[in-house]
Structure 1
Amino acid sequence: MFSFFRYLGSGCSLGDIHYNYLIGKSTAATIIPHVCETIWKKLKNIVMSEPTKGKWNEISMKFEKNSKFPNCLGALDGKHIRLIQPEHTGSLFYNYKHYFSLVLLAVADADYCFVWVDIGAFGKNSDSGIFKNSSLYKRLTEGSLDIPEPKPLVIKNKSVELPHVIVADEAFGMMENLMRPYGGRSLTHPKKIFNYRITLARRYVECTFGIMCNKWRILHRPLDVNVEFAEKIVKAICTLHNYVRMRDGYT
């Protein structure tokens, strides 16, 4: 386990593990993905379980308290995880930022924890395209996520029932439970205020990615492993990120 946490936490190579722990590189390349997979399977449903209606309400209340954005269930965004070009994949993993990557698409809450993740999409794909092929999109479309009923909000002295939403950037399409900012430059003052508020809510997923990368420094360099190994690394890191946040009391 020391070698596993050294590998993920420091960003050292399998060669460094070989020299420091007297473990063969091929042995390390077998053990580490096995540990990653075990962590994901054993801890995922504990630290990243599907929210109940009560949990969604807790998340919504924290977003309203911290970002002044009511009825918010989480912030959605994608992060490109750098890779050394995988063999026999052509340009599938080559992204618009001009490097090879796989995509981590995630929803984060106001405690900087992951509520939902989708890992392994090709780097060339857009966040919105990945989302439309994800389990989250399917569940939102089906209405099977146990999302709370619309909540009345007072707008201009009138009570209006509005749905609970996940917030995202302008790359994503609108849905009943997915909210994006207004597009364009010539916006009215109320629309600018709305965009500012939604930006405050969206920053939670960006900060979550930042906290994760700061702690698990293997993400500071391109992953020099095959795609399956890379996916297992990212799954384990997302799981451990939530575990550490919960253990440390979200500080």
Structure 2
Amino acid sequence: MRRRKRPRRRKVWVKQWLTRRPLYGYYEQLLQEVNREDPKGYKNFLRVDADLFGELLDRVSPRIKKQITTYREPGLKLAVTLHHLAAGASYSDSMYSFRVCKNTISKFVPEILEALIQEYSGEVLPAIVTTEQWQEIADDFQTNWNFPHACGALDGKHVRIKNPKNSGSLFYNYKGFFSIILLALVDSNYKLIWVNVGANDSASDAQLFNNTELRTMLEINSLNLPDSYPLPCDDKNTPYFLIGDDAFALRTWMMKPYSRRKLTNEERIFTYRICYPAIARLVIDQEKREQQLSTW
């Protein structure tokens, strides 16, 4: 019979620098300081302001709250998770900044994400968008971006993941990392209207879109878009549409930019207007956006 190996005794149960989290941790010190002195910096760090963070915490705490100990405080868990989503920080990076062991982080991040999904899934993405709601979205596009009749901006984004087992290079993208694709339709304020997530990198945005129910509904005119109506300073009826980049085919319900060669001034302005509402411009801050729009 084989002898059982005796379990090795740990030399150190908790690393000492982790125990000094209340003095130097991001959540306890840096975020509090930034919130007092630089609210925009706080929002940039977590992608939510302090008020919204408080609302998120109040709503998900009952789902995630366990016995309160030094490393199980719900606010800390939520802050680590939001920063992980906002900046793509690895568990190791978060360990040194928030002073929480990466093994602990790996356990509670999925727990927080599941709690957020359960709490907000019923109200974030509507099952059906009415004609009146589409009209409000189009009106906002005209007000915010000077682009009438647009009912949403469609684009794809790569979400970094660990390579799934036995998947080879299936999820390896041209940017040099493993990812899945998030295809999203957003309104003029970047709020999600529709999402499709989970495809591997071998599929393009257009291929993904062609296989979705969104395209089918657009083709059979069952999406409840408003009836055709003249554009400003025009007397011809023009249908309402989505906007996308060069990856998508031009249709009556899909507008795309002109080719960037030999553009007239009017075509250049149109291309500018159609490109900037895209989801890829989320990183541009509001002040810079307003300054650029005022030059046209």
Q: Does 1:46 align with 2:143?
A: no
Aligned position for 1:3? 77
- Asked if the contact 1:78–1:127 (Cα under 8 Å) also holds between the matched residues in 2, the reply is yes
Provide the C-alpha distance between the structure 2 equivalents of 1:123 and 1:112, rounded to a whole number of angstroms: 23
Q: How does 1:18-167 map to 2 (within 5 A)?
A: 25=103, 29=106, 31-49=108-126, 50-154=128-232, 158-167=234-243
Larger CA deviation: 61-70 vs 129-138: 129-138
Provide the C-alpha distance between the structure 2 equivalents of 1:125 and 1:106, rounded to a whole number of angstroms: 15
Provide the C-alpha distance between the structure 2 equivalents of 1:189 and 1:28, rounded to a whole number of angstroms: 52
Match of 1:182 among 250, 258, 262: 258
The AA in structure 2 aligned to 1:126 is: S
Provide the C-alpha distance between the structure 2 equivalents of 1:182 and 1:69, rounded to a whole number of angstroms: 15
Compute the TM-score of the two structures, normalised by the length of structure 1: 0.70
Runs of at least 4 residues of structure 1 off by over 6 A?
none
- Asked if the contact 1:94–1:101 (Cα under 8 Å) also holds between the matched residues in 2, the reply is yes
Provide the C-alpha distance between the structure 2 equivalents of 1:192 and 1:21, rounded to a whole number of angstroms: 50
Provide the C-alpha distance between the structure 2 equivalents of 1:99 and 1:74, rounded to a whole number of angstroms: 29
Provide the C-alpha distance between the structure 1 equivalents of 2:232 and 2:100, rounded to a whole number of angstroms: 62
Larger CA deviation: 179-188 vs 106-115: 179-188
Provide the C-alpha distance between the structure 2 equivalents of 1:8 and 1:154, rounded to a whole number of angstroms: 42
Cα–Cα, structure 1 residues 165 and 113, in superposed 2: closer, same or farther, change >3 Å? same
Cα–Cα, structure 1 residues 7 and 196, in superposed 2: closer, same or farther, change >3 Å? closer
Q: Which runs of 5+ in 2 are unaligned?
A: 1-73, 286-296
Provide the C-alpha distance between the structure 2 equivalents of 1:77 and 1:189, rounded to a whole number of angstroms: 25
**Deviation of the 1:56 alpha carbon:** 1.0
Flag the structure with larger Rg.
2
What's the % identity of the aligned pairs? 33
Cα–Cα, structure 1 residues 208 and 113, in superposed 2: closer, same or farther, change >3 Å? farther
CA RMSD of aligned residues (A): 2.8
Q: Which runs of 5+ in 1 are unaligned?
A: 212-251
SS of equivalent residue, structure 2 residue 235: strand
SS of equivalent residue, structure 1 residue 159: coil
Aligned position for 1:16? 95
- Equivalent pairs, count: 204
Provide the C-alpha distance between the structure 2 equivalents of 1:58 and 1:81, rounded to a whole number of angstroms: 30
The AA in structure 1 aligned to 2:121 is: K
The AA in structure 1 aligned to 2:116 is: I
Compute the TM-score of the two structures, normalised by the length of structure 2: 0.60
Larger CA deviation: 180-189 vs 140-149: 180-189
Provide the C-alpha distance between the structure 2 equivalents of 1:44 and 1:64, rounded to a whole number of angstroms: 28
- Asked if the contact 1:76–1:168 (Cα under 8 Å) also holds between the matched residues in 2, the reply is yes
- Asked if the contact 1:113–1:208 (Cα under 8 Å) also holds between the matched residues in 2, the reply is no
